[in-house]
Amino acid sequence: MKVLQDRSLAPFHTFGLDVKAKQIVMVETDAELVSVWLDDSYRDWPKLIIGQGSNLLFCEDFDGLVIVNRIRGISITETDEAYCLHVGAGEDWHGLVEMTVHADMPGLENMALIPGCVGSSPIQNIGAYGVELKDRCQYVDTVVLATGEHRRLMADECQFGYRDSVFKHALQQTHAITAVGLRLAKEWHPNISYGPLAQFDADSVTAAEIMATVCAVRMEKLPDPKRWGNAGSFFKNPVVPAALAEELAGQFPSMPAYPAGSGCSKLAAGWLIDQCGLKGHQIGGARVHDNQALVLVNYQGASSADLLALAKYVVESVERRFGVTLEHEVRFMGRQAETSLAEVYNERS
């Protein structure tokens, strides 16, 4: 366990904003995490556990304790049917993907270059190019923060949904993720149903080719957080009633829309934002990325207020033109607890 003297959160979230915490502690074991959480010194403080902060926007300074999860370790067992991986929550996600592909254990290649730690992957149910974490997850190991009790949730207990899970709701304040169990089937069936992957032949493509293509596309379209701070896709792709999607398609024939079950359709948030002419739109130091409208970037020393104002402007612009309300995928953290764009502006009005 390491108590950091510098209270700046800039190195611990990919937006790189100039915000501070009351205290920052780095932990490397389950026991350290529980010990810090239950430490009397921090009893009445707001607390936040983070990995790489790759899906987090600090709306202001955090008036509490930030615990940086660096629980590492990867162990592999196998059955006749699958490779079973037990991965520490503090491991880098993309590093894990590279390791599995190079070790001829395919299954994660579609999710290459998604930023963040392994422990964050079930919270968001991360996904890309037709594959989601839930498709490979066997279990999630947690600790009950109030007691230090270890609890394993099998995949069907995690309530995985589109960028959603039980860890964003019922268990958000009570459990911390310490490890993730993944099952990679030895009988590999490549998923090449999306975009640039459709060029491949399912009978001959390799996982390494898929990973390389995904990485190339992501690097071309998405900004490097080391150059321009960002959290990847800022907004969720909205799910709307199929009737509304059909009505919009009549007005905008080129609009992408995909079946989403239960009489609903999923629209492409990036396309909606782009049609509002917002690529390159800037407020203060915050900017809609020039190549990918779904990404907001810390372009020139942005403040939290700049990013909040830009996010609000994007939401209002899409709502005016299409009658669709975008929801942010990025988690918003207020001074003492998680918040939302709507709550931030309600508090300020």
Residues 252 and 214 in one domain: no
Residues 93 and 201 in one domain: yes
Q: Is residue 43 part of a domain?
A: yes
- Domain count of the fold of the chain: 3
Residue 80 zone, left/alpha/beta (φ > 0; ψ -120 to 50; rest):
alpha
Q: Is residue 144 part of a domain?
A: yes
- What CA–CA distance (Å, rounded) separates 153 from 165? 12
Predicted confidence (pLDDT) per residue in 286-345, tens digit: 999 999 999 999 999 999 999 999 999 999 999 999 999 999 999 999 999 999 999 999
Residues 106 and 51 in one domain: no
Predicted confidence (pLDDT) per residue in 5-43, tens digit: 999 999 999 999 999 999 999 999 999 999 999 999 999
| CATH number of the domain residue 202 falls in | 3.30.465.10
If one counts every other C-beta atom within 10 angstroms of the C-beta of residue 95, the result is 12
Q: Is 120 a catalytic residue?
A: no
Helices H / strands E in the chain, number of each = 8, 21
**Of residues 60, 98, 109, 329, which has the active-site annotation?**
329
Q: Is 163 a catalytic residue?
A: yes
Closest of 276, 48, 20 to residue 176, by C-alpha: 48
- What CA–CA distance (Å, rounded) separates 340 from 328? 8
Residues 59 and 176 in one domain: no
Residues 62 and 78 in one domain: no
User: On the CB side of 311, how many CA atoms lie within 13 Å of its CA?
Assistant: 31
DSSP state of 193: -
Residue 135 is part of which domain span? 74-221
- What CA–CA distance (Å, rounded) separates 197 from 86? 29
Structure tokens belonging to residue 230: 């960002």
- What CA–CA distance (Å, rounded) separates 12 from 74? 23
DSSP state of 305: H
Considering 34, 53, 69, which residue would you say is the last residue of a domain?
A: 69
Considering 69, 85, 112, which residue would you say is the last residue of a domain?
A: 69
Closest of 109, 117, 156, 112 to residue 134, by C-alpha: 156
List of the chain residues with pLDDT < 50: none
| CATH number of the domain residue 314 falls in | 3.90.78.10
Q: Is residue 345 part of a domain?
A: no
Q: Is residue 271 part of a domain?
A: yes
Helix runs in the chain, H state only: 30-38, 93-102, 121-124, 207-221, 242-251, 269-275, 304-322, 341-348
Q: What pLDDT does 195 receive?
A: 84
Q: What pLDDT does 299 receive?
A: 96
**Of residues 163, 218, 287, 331, which has the active-site annotation?**
163
Determine whether 198 is exposed, middle or buried from the number of CB atoms within 10 Å of its CB (0-12, 13-18, 19+): exposed
Residues 263 and 212 in one domain: no
Q: Is residue 121 part of a domain?
A: yes
Residue in this structure with the two tokens 């169990």, named with its chain if needed: 181
Q: Is residue 242 part of a domain?
A: yes
What is the pairing mode between strands 21-27 and 62-69?
A: parallel
Q: What pLDDT does 162 receive?
A: 87
- What CA–CA distance (Å, rounded) separates 91 from 191? 25
- For the chain, the residue count is 349
**Of residues 165, 233, 265, 304, which has the active-site annotation?**
233
- What CA–CA distance (Å, rounded) separates 305 from 299? 14
| CATH number of the domain residue 36 falls in | 3.30.43.10
Per DSSP, the residues of 230-268 read E-S--BPPPEEEHHHHHHHHHH-TT--EEE-STTEEEE-
Q: What pLDDT does 194 receive?
A: 85
Closest of 22, 1, 20, 2 to residue 10, by C-alpha: 20
